[in-house]
Amino acid sequence: MRDHEMAITGNHTVDVRLERAGWRDLRRVAAIQKTSFRPGLAYSLSGLSVLSIFPGVVFLVARTDSRSVAGSVIADRHRGNIRIMNVAVEPSARRQGIGTALLRGVEAAFPEGDIVLMAEEWNTGAQALYEREGYRRSGTMKDYYGKGRHGILMKKSRGLPDSTPPTRIQV
């Protein structure tokens, strides 16, 4: 994973540094969760604490020029895919390339395999970001986020390097 990325948007550049989340970051990440998701969907501080030490989980934070945490992503390997469990960016820092940097950080951490994630049906901004990064809709999960709140399953197919089976030659 690259430790440093430049996110370029519009007429300005935002310096974004990706790092593994540490204990000192968790309160800030929990605050971003509360501003990004409605009650019941945001990860709590205790939930984030568990995820930060859980084997196989990649938990990254994005720091901006000010060195403060502006976003986070949590991913793992699940049922043969890489699963992005959560992406959250501080509302005032959105549309500056931070979400893109976080998604690319997951790809760097897991260089092989397809990536799946779920987006709320109404969250067209997030879906547009995912589509720009190569994710495609692959299904709908009725009531995934609660009654009448459907989830859109999105997948980025990356295939496996050299996944073509070897040709057998009989002599």
Rounded CA-CA distance 73/171 in Å is 52
For the chain, domain boundaries: 4-112, 114-159
Q: What is the chain's pLDDT, residue by residue, as a tens digit (171 residues)?
A: 444 454 444 444 578 999 999 999 999 999 999 999 988 899 999 999 999 999 999 999 999 887 899 999 999 999 889 999 999 999 988 998 999 999 999 999 999 999 999 999 999 999 999 999 999 999 999 999 999 999 999 999 997 554 444 444 443
- CA proximity to 105, closest of 38, 20, 13: 20
Angle separating helix axes 98-109 and 124-132, nearest 10 degrees: 50
pTM value is 0.84
Q: How far is residue 133 CA from its own chain's centroid? A: 11
Looking at residue 103, its amino acid is L
Top CATH class of 4-112 equals alpha beta
Backbone torsion region of residue 51, taken as left when φ is above 0, otherwise alpha when ψ lies between -120 and 50, otherwise beta: alpha
Residue with tokens 């709140």: 149
